[in-house]
Structure 1
Amino acid sequence: MNTALPIAIIGTGIAGLSAAQTLHAAGHSVQLFDKSRGSGGRMASKRSDAGALDLGAQYFTARDRRFVDVVQDWQTRGWVAQWSPSLYNSHDGTLGASPDEQVRWVGSPRMSAITRAMLGALPVTFDCRITEVFRGEQHWQLVDANGNSHGPFSHVIVAAPAPQASALLSSAPKLAAAAASVAMDPTWAVALAFSTPLQTPVEGCFVRGGPLDWLARNRSKPGRDSQLDTWVLHATSQWTKQHLDLSKETVIEQLLGAFAELIGCTVLAPTLSLAHRWLYARPASAHQWGVLADADLGIYACGDWCLSGRVEGAWLSGHEAARRLLDHLQ
């Protein structure tokens, strides 16, 4: 059964696009909204003079059979490729090779390639921050930050980080309270580019001790074409919380210093550096909701924060939101 009105989906990260694809495949029309200028959310990549830089999610894994099948399809379509970095651990400044051999996937030629391909020709309104979601006598209406109204819609799926989702779920107080209970941690990300390649075998490193949590040689990922040696550093959530309002220049300076101490080789001044602050990088703890739903009202919330906090969790949550909605329509 096809609904006469479109279904509104707020957010074009993996969760929102997973829901959109599932609904579209079932014959329903959708309308997507995103406050940013493009799709991806934390899968976003930044184009720069040093090529595409993955500032958010660095890679993802696939364990659930449903997601494994989807990723294999993405691989066939050329949207993703396996990344097998020379992986290290750093414990309090001591570098050692990592025994971790799990399969890692990245978007190709950048992480945002996945969500751009998922979006395809689906109707979307970018640069549109939805601030209010309310239900009239029969249908849903949305209001954006400029006071413009959007609708009517038969159902609404909110696929935004938990703190933002909570504010949009006021019509369903129990869902709003659940979303409000989710703490999400921030992360400072820094990208660096060097004209002379660093003399190190490290291509990815999990860090314990100090301000850094993770670092990756961005150009070691499949499809990245750069003449420069590009790196992405992620600070720990704890360090980020303590330095949340530092200037980007100071963040770059401090994390570059930590990187130079850790990497075990000479680090010259980078030819390019930039920083990005992710306020809602990951949920502080995992939940097993799958999706938040009020089927009678016709409003749903999904995202990585409803499950594992991983890319896989985001896709599964969005898919489940769409399945719940479809089941209610039958």
Structure 2
Amino acid sequence: MTAPIAIIGAGIAGLSAAHVLHAAGHEVYLFEKSRGSGGRMASKRSEVGSLDLGAQYFTARDRRFIDALNQWRSQGHVVEWDPALYQYRAGSLTPSQDEQPRWVGSPRMSAITRALLGDLPITFGCRITEVFRGPHHWTLQDADGQNHGPFSHVIIATPAPQATPLLASAPKLAAVAAGVVMEPTWSVALAFKSPLETPVEGCFVQEGELDWFARNRCKPGRDTDYDTWVLHATSAWSREHLDAARENVVELLHGAFAELIGCLVPEPSFTLAHRWLYARPAQGHQWGALADADLGLFACGDWCASGRVEGAWLSGHEAATRLLDHLE
């Protein structure tokens, strides 16, 4: 009996790969260090409703991803989001001319990855620290020293800095991953009992501490009595404040938001800060996925492609396709 295929990481790249392999009739097993799936597409449940602290939306350009998007739409996991979109530049807010379709998970971003996971076997709260190959199979070791296996192949679907040590058995792949720079992002959620008096529902910020902010409540399916907002700091600001206390991050970004939103901003009723240490690659790449097919080791993620949600999904799809091609 053929050993299953291990996938480390249950973000959209890992789940894309798992979906392709499972559809082709292969047994897969996932490992995820967090308590839930989704990675940066995960949503935070809170007393003020579900909050999309990571990916805010996604776009679709590649035909393969558009096909997947249409399937998710038909299943009710994805809806179009058409916010009143603005940009902040030179000290003023103006309507954005960017009219490309934007999509969100419904009722939260994590609906997509939850659908991809389905009933596939997964171990949550398990951080894999070592991947090593015996005479015929792969074995994984977690942070508690427990071994998992045997596995016929391994797909590593984690951010590049986390993938690098796991690729030690393939030094050339490890060297490529080690050269990838990932940027951090501080994300802050604010909730107000009364709606802010502004027409803005999403905004690209061209200066200052913030890179983006959005009225989280205006996304379809986000039911809450509060006016909820999510703010993303720039990569530069996030690097400078990487180890700042969460309450200080909230205070500073709340202040920056209040200065540019163009209306009275009271003290929020609820705040939350989350640091994405590896939010996005500093630059896009065209690898698709990394592979040592003869060894049976693969790596994927947004850092192998465009850095966008679509890039992460395509990278996982590419890793699984290369694995299947090698098996033929």
Shorter chain as denominator, the TM-score bin is over 0.9
Q: Mapping of 1:38-117 within 5 angstroms? A: 38-117=36-115
Deviations 1:79-120 (A, max 9, x none): 010000000000133100001100000000000111111100
Q: Does 1:316 align with 2:314?
A: yes
Determine the C-alpha separation between the residues in 2 that align with 1:274 and 1:320: 36
Confirm whether residue 233 of structure 1 aligns to residue 231 of structure 2.
yes
Structure 1 moving runs of 4+ over 3 Å: none
Note if 1:14 corresponds to 2:19: no
- 1:117-164 Cα shifts (integer Å, max 9, x gaps): 110000000000000000001100000000000000000000000000
Residue matched to 1:147 = 145
The 2-side partners of 1:144 and 1:133 are apart by 9
Aligned to 1:328: 326
One-letter code of the match for 1:24? H
Structure 2 residue aligned with 1:295: 293
Q: Which residue of 1 aligns with 2:177?
A: 179
Structure 2-normalised TM-score?
A: 0.99
Structure 1 contact 93–261 (Cα < 8 Å) conserved: no
Listed one character per residue, the Cα deviations across residues 232-266 of structure 1 (whole Å, up to 9, x for unaligned) are 00000000011111100000000000000000000
What is the alpha-carbon distance in structure 2 between the residues aligned to residue 92 and residue 249 of structure 1?
29
Three-state SS of the structure 2 residue aligned to 1:196 is coil
Unaligned runs of 5+ in 1: none
Q: Partners in 1 of 2:325 and 2:206 — Cα distance?
A: 45
**RMSD (CA atoms):** 0.6
- The match for 2:120 is 122
1:196 aligns with 2:194: yes
Equivalent position SS for 1:109: coil
**Number of equivalenced pairs:** 328
**Quick one: distance in 2 between partners of 1:283 and 1:198?**
33
Please report how far the alpha carbon of residue 230 of structure 1 lies from its aligned counterpart in structure 2 after TM superposition. Answer: 0.2
Question: Could you list the per-position Cα deviations for residues 146-197 of structure 1 after superposition, in whole angstroms to 9, with x for gaps in the alignment?
Answer: 0000000000000000000011000000000000000000000000000010
Q: Distance in 2 between matches of 1:316 and 1:196?
A: 41
Aligned sequence identity (%): 72
Matching residue within 270, 275, 279 for 1:272: 270
1:44-93 deviation per Cα after TM superposition (whole angstroms, max 9, x unaligned)? 11000110000000000000000001001000000010000000000133
1:199 is paired with a residue whose SS is coil
**What CA distance in whole angstroms lies between the structure 2 residues aligned with 1:92 and 1:118?**
42
Where does the alignment leave 5 or more consecutive residues of structure 2 unmatched?
A: none
In 1, the alpha carbon distance for the partners of 2:84 and 2:228 equals 15
Q: In 1, distance between residues paired with 2:11 and 2:68?
A: 16
